Amino acid sequence: MTPMFINGQWVASESGELFDVLDPATEEVIAQVPNGTAADVARAVAAAEAAFAEWRWVPGVERAAMLHEATRKMAAHRETLVHLLTLEEGKPIPENEEELEWVIGTFDYYAEMARTYRGRLLAPAGRSQFNFVMKEPYGVVACIVPFNYPLLLLAWKMAPALAAGNTVILKPANETPLSTLRLVELAFDHFPAGVVNVITGDGPRAGEPLVTHPAVPVIAFTGSTAVGQRIARLAAERIKRTHLELGGKDAFVIAPDADIETAIEAVAYASLLNAGQVCTSTERVYVPHRMVGTFAGGLADYVNGLRLGPGLEPTTDIGPLAAARFREKVAAHVADAVQKGAKVVAGGSRPGQFPRGFYFQPTVLINVNHTMLCMREETFGPTIPVMGYSDFDEAIRLANDSDYGLGAVCRTNDPRLAKRFFEEVRAGTIWINDPLTDNYGGPFGGMKMSGNARELGEEGLESFLETKHVHWDFDDSPKEWWYPY
* Distance (Å, whole) CA 221 – CA 429: 19
Category of 119 on φ-ψ map: left (φ > 0), alpha (ψ -120 to 50) or beta: left
Cα–Cα dist 172/133, whole Å: 34
To which H or E segment does residue 88 belong? helix 78-89
Question: For residue 449, which of 376, 341, 394 has the smallest C-alpha distance?
Answer: 376
Distance CA 419, CA 415 (A): 6
456 Cβ contact partners less than 8 Å away, ≥ 6 residues apart: 106, 109, 156, 438, 439, 440, 441, 442, 443, 444
Q: What are phi and psi of 465, to 5 degrees?
A: -125, 135
Buried (b) or exposed (e) across 310-327, using 16+ Cβ within 10 A? Answer: bbbeeebbbbbbbbeebb
Distances in Å between the alpha carbon of 304 and those of 94, 188, 319? 20, 43, 14
Distance CA(446)–CA(369), nearest Å, equals 24
Nearest-CA neighbor of 172 among 189, 184, 186?
A: 184
Q: Which of 222, 298, 295, 442 is nearest to 431 (CA)?
A: 442
Question: Of the residues 88, 89, 245, 377, which is catalytic?
Answer: 245
Phi and psi angles of residue 191, each rounded to the nearest 5 degrees, phi first = -80, 150
- φ/ψ of 10, rounded to 5, equals -90, 120
Residue 410 annotated among the catalytic residues of the structure: no
Given the residues 143, 279, 374, 410, the one annotated as active site:
279
143 part of the active site: no
354/358 Cα distance (integer angstroms): 9
Dihedral over Cα of 459, 461, 467, 471: its sign: negative
3-state secondary structure of 137: strand
Overall size of the chain counted in residues: 485
Distances (CA, A) of 149 to 103, 407, 426: 10, 17, 25
Active site residues per annotation: 245, 279
